[in-house]
Amino acid sequence: MTVSAAPSSTHIPALERTLAWLTLERLGYAAIGLLALLLRLANLGAAPLSPAEATQAMAALDLVASRGGLPAAGVSPLLLNLHWLIFLMAQASESWARLLPALAGSVTVLLAYGLRAELGRLGALAAALLLALSTTLVFWSRSAAGESLALLAGMMLIVGLAGWRRSRGRGCAVWLAAGLALLLLSAPISYSILQAAAPLAAMALVPAGERRPATAGLATAGLAFVAILLLGATGFFFQPGGLAALAELPAVWLRGFRGDESLPGLALNLLWLEPLTLLVGLAGLAVGLRRRHWLAQGLGLWLAVALALLLLRGGRTAADLAVLVLPLALLSGLAVQAALDLLRLDEHRAEGMALLIAGLVILASVAVWLAQYTEAWKGAPQAAFLISAGAILAIMLALFGLYALIFGRAVTLRVALAVAVLALALLSLRGMLLTSHNRDSLRWGSLASEVGASSGSELHHTLERLAAQRGLDLFDLPVAFLTEPGQETPALLRWAGRGARAGAPAIDGANLVWLGMENDRPPTAPTLLQPALSGSGGAYSGQSFRLTQSWSPTGLDGRALLRWLLFGRFDAIGFQIFGQHAAGDVKRQNHGAFDARQTHRQLRTGEAEQQQGQPDGKQTWRHVATATNGRSIPPTHNA
C-alpha cells in the first residue's frame, strides 16, 4: 500500500499570487525607489548643518534636555517631535537629523504610482524617475528641515485628489485629510503649496457638471484631520509647545512677502539645475492642455499660482523652486507618454542609433573644449578653444543635415530630439550631484546661499578630543557661551557644543571652556581672575572655526560665469591663517560674492601657543580674545 503526498494547498497559490503581482512595472518602481533612497541616504551626514537645519535640530535637543521655552519661529512642529523621538533613542548627529526628511523624499517618489490612470503607466514611471533624480527634491530630502515633509504632503494631496475624482471613496477622503494635516504641520512653504493646490482641489472635488460635491466619508475625514493635526503638533500630547510652532508657520510665511531676495538668481538655478524637468514638464503641459486633460489643467493652474507667489514674495527662497518642480515632474509624464510613437525609428533603427551615439560623442567633445576655455589658471582666454568647440558643433550640424538628405527629416528630427533629451538629462544629473553629493571645495554644493562650514564639525570633534585629554566624556566637559544677556546664542554654535555639560564660572572656574562668536566680548567673571590650578600648566588661547559660509553667482561675468554655468566651479578662495588669528578679508579671483563667518572657542593649550607673531599689515585680521592662567587679556589685533 502506497500513500502519495498531496501538494501543499497554500505554498503554490501564494507563490503564484506573488509572481502575478510582481509585474515588470512594479519592479521598475522598486528600482526607482531604491535609486531614490540611495541618492538621499548616501553620505547623509557628511555636510555640516546649515543655520536653518541647526535651528530645527536644536529645538528638538532642547526638548530632550527639558530646557523649556518655545521653539524658534519657522520650526516644523512635525519634524520637531520626530526629532525629539529620534534624539531620545540615539545620539544627535547630522545623519540622524536628516534621516526622516530623506525617507519622506523617497516616499514622495513612489507616490507617482497612484497617478497611473492619469499619466499612463509609462508616464507615471517616468514621472517617478524625474522625482527621484530632481536636483531640488534631492537637496531638500537631504536637509534637516520641514520642506521634504511639505513636498510629501503636497504629493499626497495630488494623488488623493486624483483618486477622489475617480472613485469618491471614503478611503480617499481620509487620505486627503491626512495629507492636509501633514502639510500644515511641515514648514512655512506648506502655505505656498496650499495656495497652489487650491485650483486643482476645486477641479477634483467639484467636477464640471456637478452642482455639489460628494459628502461620503467627510465626517471620518474631519476626525482624522483633527486627530493627526493635534497628535503631530504635540507629539501625542507630550510636547504641547508644538502648538505654538504650528501657529507660527503662517506668520513666517506671510513675512516672506517682505524682503529683496534675488529673483533672477532663483530663475537661473531652475534653468541651470532642472533643465530636463523644466522643458519636458512644459511640453507635458502643452500636451495636456491640448487634450483638455483635467490633471494637466489643474497642475497648470498650480504652476501659475506658484509663479505668482514667487514674483510677489520678496523673501523668496530655494524652497519656492520645489513648489514649481513638483508639478513639472508630474507633467513630464504626460510628455513621455505622448512621445512613445514620436521616437520610434522603425526600419532605420540602426542608422538612428549610430547618429545618436555620434551626437552624444560630439557634445562631450564640445564640453571638453569649453572646459579648457574656462580654466582659470590658463590666464588670458584662448580663442582657439572656442573656435574648436564651434567647429565640432558645425560638424554635428552637417552630419544631421546629411542624415536628413539620406534617411529623411522625420528620422533625423527624432534622433535630434533624443540627443537633446539625453543631454538635458546629463545636465540635470550633473546639477543633482553638484548640489547634494559635492565634495569639491571649488564647487558650491547647495541650493541655499548660506551653508554650514566644514570647520563647524571640527569644533565639535575638538571638544571631544579636549574632553578625552582631560580624561572625561564629552557629557562631563563644562562649556559656557559668551552670548550677551538678552541675546540668543546662534543655533549652529549650540549644535557644535551639543552633548557637553552646561558649565558656570563660579563652579568650574579655569576648567570652563568658552564658546562664542567673533564679536562676543571675552569672559570677565570674577572667578576667571583667580589663577588656574592645573598640574599641567598652560594657557587659554583662542582658536577660530568657520561656522557658516555663503556664496552667490551675482556679479559673475564672462569666462567666470561660463565656467560656473557649465561646470559649477568658481575660482580659488583662500583663507589666510596666522597664529590664532583668521583672515577677515577673503581673497577671490572672480566677481562672485563669498563670505565666511568665524566663531571662536577658548581652550587650554600648551605654553608654546603663548608666543604669537604679528600679522602682516597688508591683511585685515579678526581678533580672538585670549587669556593666561584664567585672567582675561584684551585682544591684541582688531579688524
H or E stretch covering 605: strand 593-605
322 and 212 within one domain: yes
In b/e form, how buried is each residue of 496-516, taking b as 16+ CB within 10 angstroms?
bbbbbbebebeebbbbbbbbb
- Determine the Cα angle at 107 with ends 102 and 109, to 5°: 100
Picking from 319, 338, 357, the residue at the C-terminal end of a domain is 338
The total of other beta-carbon atoms located within 10 Å of residue 442's CB is 13
pLDDT at 395: 86
The total of other beta-carbon atoms located within 10 Å of residue 394's CB is 10
pLDDT at 279: 93
Q: How far apart are CA 430 and CA 212, in angstroms?
A: 48
230 and 153 within one domain: yes
**Phi, psi dihedrals of residue 358, rounded to the nearest 5°:** -60, -40
**Which amino acid is residue 134, in one-letter code?**
S
Picking from 311, 338, 365, the residue at the C-terminal end of a domain is 338
**Structural domains in the chain (count):** 3
pLDDT at 193: 96
Q: How far apart are CA 110 and CA 29, in angstroms?
A: 7
Picking from 284, 303, 338, the residue at the C-terminal end of a domain is 338
> Which positions ≥6 away from 15 have C-beta within 8 Å?
none
- Determine the Cα angle at 134 with ends 130 and 137, to 5°: 125
302 and 164 within one domain: yes
Q: How far apart are CA 262 and CA 8, in angstroms?
A: 68
DSSP letter string, 14-52: HHHHHHHHS-HHHHHHHHHHHHHHHHHHTTTTSSPPPHH
3-state secondary structure of 91: coil
Q: How far apart are CA 517 and CA 481, in angstroms?
A: 9
pLDDT at 536: 34
> At how many degrees (to 10) do helices 319-338 and 121-133 cross?
150
Residue 432 included in any domain = no
221 and 200 within one domain: yes
**Phi, psi dihedrals of residue 576, rounded to the nearest 5°:** -90, 125
3-state secondary structure of 617: coil
E strand spans, 504-538: 513-517
Q: Report DSSP state, residue 162.
A: H
Residue 184 included in any domain = yes
Structural contact between residues 577 and 583, judged by C-beta atoms closer than 8 angstroms: yes
63 and 172 within one domain: yes
pLDDT at 595: 40
458 and 384 within one domain: no
CA distances from 409 to 244, 403, 506, 622 (A): 63, 8, 85, 66
Residue 220 included in any domain = yes
135 and 30 within one domain: yes
3-state secondary structure of 169: coil
298 and 149 within one domain: yes
What is the dihedral angle through the alpha carbons of 8, 10, 15, 18, rounded to the nearest 10 degrees?
170
Residue 447 included in any domain = no
> Which positions ≥6 away from 420 have C-beta within 8 Å?
none
Q: How far apart are CA 206 and CA 15, in angstroms?
A: 43
324 and 352 within one domain: no
pLDDT at 4: 52
Residue 6 included in any domain = no
Nearest Cα to Cα of residue 271 among 39, 423, 431, 450: 431
Cα-trace Rg, the chain: 29
3-state secondary structure of 463: helix
What is the dihedral angle through the alpha carbons of 308, 119, 199, 285, rounded to the nearest 10 degrees?
40
Residue 9 included in any domain = no
Residues paired with 450 in a beta bridge: 550
Structural contact between residues 45 and 91, judged by C-beta atoms closer than 8 angstroms: no
Structural contact between residues 583 and 548, judged by C-beta atoms closer than 8 angstroms: no
555 and 502 within one domain: yes
Nearest Cα to Cα of residue 262 among 51, 50, 449: 449
Residue 443 included in any domain = no
418 and 461 within one domain: no
Residue 310 included in any domain = yes
Q: How far apart are CA 58 and CA 496, in angstroms?
A: 10
3-state secondary structure of 639: coil
> Which positions ≥6 away from 31 have C-beta within 8 Å?
none
398 and 491 within one domain: no
H or E stretch covering 431: helix 409-436
Range of the domain at 492: 453-633
H or E stretch covering 583: strand 581-583
Cell digits of residue 430: 550633473
Q: How far apart are CA 95 and CA 514, in angstroms?
A: 27
Cell digits of residue 554: 551675482
Structural contact between residues 163 and 175, judged by C-beta atoms closer than 8 angstroms: yes
Residues paired with 548 in a beta bridge: 452, 597
Q: Report DSSP state, residue 609.
A: G
Q: Say if residue 11 is exposed, middle or buried (CB neighbours under 10 Å; 0-12, 13-18, 19+).
A: exposed
Structural contact between residues 479 and 512, judged by C-beta atoms closer than 8 angstroms: yes
Structural contact between residues 179 and 160, judged by C-beta atoms closer than 8 angstroms: yes
Mean pLDDT by 10 residues, the chain (639 residues): 51 69 87 96 90 93 83 91 94 94 97 93 94 94 95 96 87 93 96 95 76 67 93 90 91 87 77 90 94 94 95 87 95 87 68 81 81 60 76 86 82 83 86 82 72 80 87 87 82 88 79 80 52 35 74 70 70 34 26 37 32 30 27 30
The total of other beta-carbon atoms located within 10 Å of residue 426's CB is 16
